[in-house]
Amino acid sequence: MKIFYPRFLIVIVFLITFQSCSKEDNSNSGIPSSNDSLGTDQNTSSSSSTDSSESNQENNSSNSNNSSESNQENSSSTHDYTDFDCDNWFYDLPRPEPVSVDNTHRYYTYSWQSGPMLCLNSYEPSILGERVEKVKDFLRWAEVNMPNIIPINVFYIDQINASDESKLQHTTDFCNLVREPGEVNTCINESNGSWGERSHGAGVYGSYLHKGADLMIYDDAFKHSGGVDEGMYYLNHEYFHTFQTGHMFYFEENKQFGISIDLEEKSPPLPFLPIWMGEGGADFASIAMMAKQNLNIDPFDQAVAKLDQARKAMEGSNSSFSLKDFESENTRINEEYFAYGGGAMAHIYLWNLNKDNFKKLMVEYYSIFAEKYRLNPESGWKDAFEDTFGITLESFYSDFDSFMRQDRDSQIAIIKSAEEWENASWN
């Protein structure tokens, strides 16, 4: 996920690598790659492979109709999404004109809003084998059970064994997605030394919101000792980052996307979300989503693993150790990142306080984020937290910090059973 603090970007280290990238016409169409649309024809909910503001400035309102027409022309196409060609069409969409502008934001509507598509780019599928179908199965599940509000562009490659040609195609496709014309060669050149060390990542910045989010998944995710099913954690985690970041721009009331004028002058152009909420939220959501995908995993055991990750990071700490310290820093302590394990436990703790908090953690917090950010960019995330959960942030930090200093058995006692994870609903 793309956030303007260092460790939060570890989830999308690939994007940091390509901070200076841009897009230009793709001339490598002969490279082995597979572009599969997972859009309008999907209606399965289970895995098959294994089992604006309310009012805008008056001086802009007279141009809204014309801008809207231009916006739709720039963001729509007669393409059949069931045969979607990601690198030859979608990634070349120009950024449209806003439908309206006020003192803080430029607002957009996109033709894909009625049915954002999911697109998978797999490179050298013969190397990836049946894991390509596993990724497709997840996307089919997500479209029905955790639908997104923006298109998702998935890039899947074996970063160790893929050919140089495939790696170049992958890099070029990504640069075409995330950057404006004229700098793609710089983007490619800067990435030459990173193969084999790239981290999975996902999200969207305002600069290419009109083309949807990117989701980077590498084949090494599925080659851990726990097998392919355990590796699905990475795909679920990254997918939720696209859900988080997409909602940071979406104004529910007017069904429009808004990009902060102030943020457009900064890099990266994305509102602030604490690391422990961004990464911990994606870890929490990955457990919740995987519990419903007929995978060979136990959500209770996964949650306990997050607790142990947090506890290890806290070893040797004093009473001043606090979740608050991981709003904008993600220090690695005792070989663990507390923002991930501790952040996930913070979400589990909130769920334990009130069963209704599960849906709030998964959906409702992000649904009001853009509005709160527009009212107060400095504390929008905090205001959204307090409105959503009915508790002050300071009280939450104090109570959770005390909880994390309890013995392990007391902490495990609040973790929901596997059955509770499976039955919990965000709908």
What's the CA gap between 80 and 84, in Å, rounded?
A: 6
The mean per-residue pLDDT over the stretch 319-342 comes to 93
pLDDT value of residue 29: 31
Backbone angles phi, psi at 252, to 5 degrees: -55, -40
Nearest CA to 289 out of 238, 331, 329, 325 is that of: 238
CB neighbour class for 125 (10 Å; exposed up to 12, middle 13-18, buried from 19): middle
Q: pLDDT per residue over 69-102, tens digit each?
A: 434 444 334 344 443 345 556 677 788 899 999 9
pLDDT value of residue 332: 86
The mean per-residue pLDDT over the stretch 1-22 comes to 36
Q: Provide the β-strand partners of residue 333.
A: 336
**How is residue 427 written in tokens?**
């709908």
Helix (H, G, I), strand (E, B) or coil at 225: coil
pLDDT value of residue 149: 97
SS3 content of the chain, % helix, strand, coil (to 5): 50, 10, 40
- Residue 410's identity, in one-letter code, is S
Q: Is the pLDDT of residue 3 over 70?
A: no
Q: pLDDT per residue over 162-215, tens digit each?
A: 999 999 999 888 888 888 778 778 887 887 778 998 999 999 999 899 999 999
Residue 295: other Cβ atoms inside 10 A: 22
Q: Is the pLDDT of residue 345 over 80?
A: yes
What's the CA gap between 16 and 190, in Å, rounded?
A: 11
Q: Is the pLDDT of residue 55 over 80?
A: no
Rounded to 5 degrees, what angle do the CA atoms 206, 23, 207 make? 10
Lowest mean pLDDT among 19-28, 239-248, 337-346: 19-28
Instruction: Tell me the pLDDT band of 6, cut-offs 50, 70 and 90.
Output: very low
- According to DSSP, the β-strands at 100-101 and 105-108 are antiparallel
Contact 174, 28 (CB under 8 A): no
Q: pLDDT per residue over 213-223, tens digit each?
A: 999 999 999 98
Helix (H, G, I), strand (E, B) or coil at 337: strand
Query: Strand runs (DSSP E) across 219-285, as ranges?
Result: 250-251, 256-260
pLDDT value of residue 89: 61
338-353 and 299-314 helices cross at what angle (nearest 10)?
Answer: 120
What's the CA gap between 371 and 252, in Å, rounded?
A: 8
Task: Give first-to-last CA distance, the chain, whole Å.
Answer: 23
**How is residue 322 written in tokens?**
């606090």
Q: Is the pLDDT of residue 20 over 80?
A: no
Residue 331: other Cβ atoms inside 10 A: 12
Lowest mean pLDDT among 225-229, 366-370, 384-388: 225-229
pLDDT value of residue 135: 92
In the chain, what are the domain boundaries? Answer: 7-265, 275-423
Contact 47, 207 (CB under 8 A): no
What's the CA gap between 200 and 220, in Å, rounded?
A: 10
- Where do the H-state alpha helices sit in 43-163? 58-61, 64-75, 125-128, 131-145
**How is residue 358 written in tokens?**
């599960």
What's the CA gap between 132 and 388, in Å, rounded?
A: 38
What's the CA gap between 231 and 226, in Å, rounded?
A: 7
pLDDT value of residue 12: 37
Q: pLDDT per residue over 360-373, tens digit each?
A: 999 999 999 999 99
pLDDT value of residue 128: 94
Q: Is the pLDDT of residue 68 over 90?
A: no
Residue 280: other Cβ atoms inside 10 A: 28
Give the chain's mean pLDDT: 82
- Residue 138's identity, in one-letter code, is F
- Which whole-number Å values give the CA distances from 419 to 48, 191, 296, 410, 423, in the listed order? 22, 44, 14, 20, 6
What's the CA gap between 79 and 89, in Å, rounded?
A: 9
